[in-house]
Amino acid sequence: MMQKMERRAFLAAAPAPLLARMPVLSAPLSRQGLTAFLTARVDAMAKQWDAKRDAIRTAAGLEARNRDVRSKVREMLGPLPPPAPLRAEITGILQRDGYRIEKLLLESRPGLWVTANVYVPPGPGPFPAVLSPCGHYELARMHPDYQLAYIDLALQGLIVLAYDPPGQGERRNYWNRTLGANEEGLRSVDDHSMAGHLLLLLGDSLTGYMVQDGLRAIDYLLMRPDVDARKIACAGHSGGGTLTMFLACVDERLACAVINEGGTAHRWPVTLRSDGSPPVPDAEQNLFPAAVYGIDTCDMHAAIAPRPLLALIEEYAEPFNRSAAHIRARYELLNAGARFETAEAKARHAWTAKLRLATADWCSRWLLGRPGPAAESGRQPEPPANLHVTPEGSLREAGKGETLFAHIAARAAAIDDARLLPITRPDLAAFQKDLRRRLPRLLRIDLPSAPARFRVAASAQEEGLFVESCEIDSEPGVVLDAIAYRPNSGAARPRPVLLVATRGRTQVEPAARALAAAGFPVLCLNPRGIAWQQPAAAVKPYGHLFDTTTGQAYLAWSLDQDLFGMRVFDVLSAAAAAPGLLKTRAPLSVCAWGDAVPWVLCAAALEPGLSKVVCREGLVSWRALLSSDRYSHGAGVFVRGIFPHWDLPQFAGALAPRRLVVSSPVGALRQPVSTSDHLSWTRSAYACCGAQDRFLTPPEAVDQPFPARLSRWLT
């Protein structure tokens, strides 16, 4: 059995008068308990795949493995659109000594334009070509180091197509010309993960969108009469090196590759950060569920074989060396050992002069059949404005096409507007049956098949209440912490309540005590990974994109599981344990705060035995996120691929005709929103079964404490 994931001290949650009478429990675990649990699962799976890789001893076996890797990577990228006209347009040309620079626009997907520069040697050609995706510099292809690399290649007689990824260069979604900077200080990595999480809701990936840009750039090169179609390479730095890995893995039109400081290192076993939290690369550097398929970065490098591959790094170190040895062995198995080489810069993370020359030499050797330059030309990079493809230096400011966020919003609107409203009771019944059948699979859970096991770890009495610290076995290796509050005197008609929150004891304790004092037996639940004493450390704006919860969600998605689904399962487990812990089999109500609201809505949609549901300050809909270019909700409320099937208002509607109270819902930035703008589907579901009066959306009452209102709603 794996280690217990959550075991916190009841002392932290108990009021002061109880301390002297409560036995001391073990020291509390932080959220790293969940990280350790998920990491152990990933590492165990990686160990199995290591054994399978080690069993490959023949060229035929490796070729079969590489075919499977390429196929699975294409699958994980998400659906790529069918070929469409590129509508390529040259908006300007700069003539320089020994080369020219063309300013290129091409349409990667309908409405999504790519800005690029093409460096062209003199003469009619055809020339070999190098595709160069960019790293995470805000200037992208206009960064001085990058320009010098392109010039080195062009002076060797190679065409270079360098393009901006989404969120960078002239494709910055937050660029504000008046400010001369991105809005709110948002960086390219923020831009990527903000869009990337939204695309996961749609069942897509930002990785797929970025790879699609590269594939369409290759299509464009093949259209040019001055390009030798048999000799196209890909060479990118940093994040562009990672994109080079993806592109060269899936597209065998690329004859050779240079992965320059782009992640040549095993991701598994997982190396945690110094504070014990999981690593969180930005969204496009992940493929899900890669751990299930056993596809580590080394596998994608090896899938490039036997095509020539150069891997570059700042300085040789164990992670890079281990991965390089793995890749080299695969090349040697294909009798292509001379086609894989490495080099180090012995310098900071940058496309330095040494690495630029190594890149030019590699591409010259394999595309031109001769060594590259011994030294750089001394040419100077252009001022960024000289390279602008659009007059304003921004597709957003120029109004060319649509931003990636506008594209995502349009996709979401098309899906949501096509949802059928239930008109009759049979319509609603059929919808509820279908949802209960399919939702567990989308949440990647199996519904509890037996009553949850539980234990009372400590108990005490105070002011007419029994207070108990409890443990609930949710699944093997997962122990949930809960606190039960029961009135001393049994109520004639007990009305048990499950409270689920995400910000610790201060969020639930006042309501729990007030309800218990009013005769309600109450069970307060901490779903996995959430502590009773949540730290209140301030984070920078939009820091949720790279926080511990995001890292945990990425680990779960790599396993083809879902952190959201796990927490839904925890709510269902607690509901199953509640009759034993609260000493009553009366119908159970449930109340949720904040990020717990979506989990509870899903749990209640799956479990008809939850008789009443109260939601406070929860996300009103996933469409609210998909319609915005920024949001403050973390990865814990995202489910891969859920939105084409249902949104939160459908889960709410599935509760009809049970009582549902939605109080103070919030939008993308946790701002108050109107229920009339978002919950029409829910209202229709309640109306079609004549239960309009059981769906309540009361305004916030500043003159009445929430516990008092909650007691009234649950009565």
Sign of CA dihedral 269, 544, 528, 443: negative
699, pLDDT greater than 90:
no
User: Which whole number is the average pLDDT over 273-279?
Assistant: 87
β-partners of residue 94 are 101
10, pLDDT greater than 60:
no
pLDDT band at residue 533 using 50, 70 and 90 as cut-offs: low
pLDDT per residue as tens digits for the range 650-688 = 999 999 999 999 999 999 999 999 888 899 999 999 999
User: Which whole number is the average pLDDT over 238-262?
Assistant: 98
User: Which whole number is the average pLDDT over 404-410?
Assistant: 98
pLDDT of the residue at 417: 95
pLDDT per residue as tens digits for the range 636-657 = 999 999 999 999 999 999 999 9
**Cα separation, 469 vs 485, whole angstroms:** 9
**Cα separation, 345 vs 237, whole angstroms:** 13
Tell me the Ramachandran region of residue 185: left when phi exceeds 0, alpha when psi lies from -120 to 50, beta otherwise: left
pLDDT of the residue at 102: 98
* Residue 310 phi, psi dihedral angles, 5° rounding: -110, 125
User: Which whole number is the average pLDDT over 263-270?
Assistant: 94
Answer yes or no: are the C-beta atoms of 441 and 561 closer than 8 Å: no
User: Which whole number is the average pLDDT over 610-624?
Assistant: 96
Nearest CA among 654, 552, 19 for reference residue 278: 552
Tokens of 279: 């690593």
pLDDT per residue as tens digits for the range 556-585 = 999 999 999 999 999 999 999 999 999 999
pLDDT of the residue at 504: 67
3-class state of residue 499 by DSSP: strand
Answer yes or no: are the C-beta atoms of 263 and 286 closer than 8 Å: no
DSSP letter, residue 672: B
Q: Flag whether the pTM goes above 0.85.
A: yes
pLDDT band at residue 330 using 50, 70 and 90 as cut-offs: very high
Q: Which residue has the higher pLDDT, 128 or 714?
A: 128
Q: Which residue has the higher pLDDT, 213 or 19?
A: 213
pLDDT of the residue at 589: 96
pLDDT band at residue 13 using 50, 70 and 90 as cut-offs: very low
Query: CA geometry: angle at 295 spanning 289 and 298, to 5°?
Result: 145
pLDDT band at residue 704 using 50, 70 and 90 as cut-offs: confident
Answer yes or no: are the C-beta atoms of 107 and 86 closer than 8 Å: yes
User: Which whole number is the average pLDDT over 282-295?
Assistant: 95
468, pLDDT greater than 70:
yes
Answer yes or no: are the C-beta atoms of 400 and 113 closer than 8 Å: yes
Tokens 């919808």: give the residue.
Answer: 431
pLDDT of the residue at 634: 94
Burial class (CB in 10 A: 0-12, 13-18, 19+), 577: buried
pLDDT of the residue at 541: 80
Q: For the chain, what is the radius of gyration of the CA atoms?
A: 28
pLDDT band at residue 532 using 50, 70 and 90 as cut-offs: low
633, pLDDT greater than 60:
yes
Summary mean pLDDT of the chain = 91
pLDDT band at residue 629 using 50, 70 and 90 as cut-offs: very high
pLDDT band at residue 517 using 50, 70 and 90 as cut-offs: confident
79, pLDDT greater than 80:
yes
* C-alpha distances out from residue 260 to 172, 268, 618, Å: 23, 20, 43
